[in-house]
Amino acid sequence: MKPTLLILAAGLGSRYGSLKQIEPVGPGGEAIIDYSVYDAIKAGFGKVVFVIKKDIEADFRENLLVRFEDRVETGYVFQELDMLPGGYALPSMRKKPWGTAHAILAAEEAVTTPFAAINADDFYGFEAFDEMQKFLSAEAKGTDYSMIGYKLKNTLSKHGTVSRGVCEKDENGFLVSVSELTKIQKVNDHIVYYDNDEPHRLNEDAVVSMNMWGFTPEIFRQIKERFTAFLDKNINNPRAEYYISELTDHLIRDYEARVKVIDCDASWFGITYREDRDFARSSIMEKIRSGSYPQRLWE
């Protein structure tokens, strides 16, 4: 059975200021999502499932799904704030989604095969989808998972700080830990992150997660078991999010999962800030000129 691609598209995009998941970057109006789906189909994925908010359903169906739903099996599920375990009530001050782990959990009923989970607004490149498909088809069993690892220097924005999961792996290529760092940017010739406004230097070749993970359906049970502990501690914190990188770090430390790091030398790009849009568009045009993609993706 072919693996599934799960695309997390329910984020608010607060720094960008609009629905960046369907922002056109290709010459035919294609969004970054289109290129992810195109690469996934080419790599051998058999189904694509989206996690969205219910209030964008009409736009999503009319402006995105119609482009490729005749080329691959598609589906979508909703991630809503009130989707909480029994015994937990939604605090009135909560406005942000609960994070990527919660988003993945929302797809439990729709995903029954090994699957890759990605962000909607990140461009990963065909190489990443090809390597992930190979892992999911041959090696993903039980709680043996994977992650595409990018070099930090290839994942920055010129227009502001970014958050990255900085990874450590062992001599066999398995993830040892992942630390979610925020406010990362290049300052002069160095890459730094800020902690309490103090800069700390990072290795430009450090392996980072761009939220391209490979899982089996076993991950849904593990998220449910640990999400309640997160809520017990953070339910009244309106900004707290449960990241999938945080979850996998806990699973590794407790010997409940193994995560193989699949190195990728490609340059990531995405739309974190509105100013990133022009760079994304020029990057797509370069790839079209090189023959990686057709001028009109779905024609």
Confidence of residue 115 (pLDDT cuts 50, 70, 90): very high
- Joined together, the tokens standing for residue 89 give 């009530």
Residue 142: pLDDT over 70:
yes
Provide the residue ranges of all domains of the chain, joining segments of one domain with +: 4-289
- The larger pLDDT score, comparing residue 266 to residue 27, is at 27
Please give the pLDDT value at position 75.
95
Residue 17: pLDDT over 60:
no
Residue 162: pLDDT over 90:
no
Residue 188: pLDDT over 70:
yes
Range from 35-49, 57-71, 199-213, 264-278 carrying the lowest mean pLDDT: 264-278
Please give the pLDDT value at position 11.
66
Confidence of residue 15 (pLDDT cuts 50, 70, 90): very low
Please give the pLDDT value at position 208.
93
Q: Average pLDDT of 20-35?
A: 86
Nearest to residue 235, comparing CAs of 105, 84, 104? 84
Please give the pLDDT value at position 144.
97
Confidence of residue 234 (pLDDT cuts 50, 70, 90): very high
Confidence of residue 46 (pLDDT cuts 50, 70, 90): very high
Is residue 163 a contact partner of residue 182, using CB atoms and an 8 Å limit? yes
Please give the pLDDT value at position 189.
86
Nearest to residue 79, comparing CAs of 60, 107, 117, 58? 107
Q: What is the pLDDT of residues 127-140, one digit of tens each?
A: 999 999 999 999 99
Instruction: Give me the sign of the Cα torsion angle 298, 41, 215, 150.
Output: negative
Please give the pLDDT value at position 21.
62
Confidence of residue 160 (pLDDT cuts 50, 70, 90): confident
Confidence of residue 229 (pLDDT cuts 50, 70, 90): very high
Is residue 66 a contact partner of residue 153, using CB atoms and an 8 Å limit? no
One-letter amino acid at 207 equals: V
What are the φ/ψ torsions at residue 232 (nearest 5 degrees)? -55, -35
Q: What is the pLDDT of residues 60-77, one digit of tens each?
A: 888 889 999 999 999 999
Residue 18: pLDDT over 50:
no
Give the global pTM.
Answer: 0.91
Residue 12: pLDDT over 50:
no
Which CATH superfamily does the domain covering 4-289 fall into?
Answer: Spore Coat Polysaccharide Biosynthesis Protein SpsA; Chain A (3.90.550.10)
Q: Average pLDDT of 165-192?
A: 91
Q: CB neighbours of 104 closer than 8 A, spacing ≥ 6?
A: 6, 8, 51, 117, 215, 219, 220, 223, 244
Confidence of residue 240 (pLDDT cuts 50, 70, 90): very high
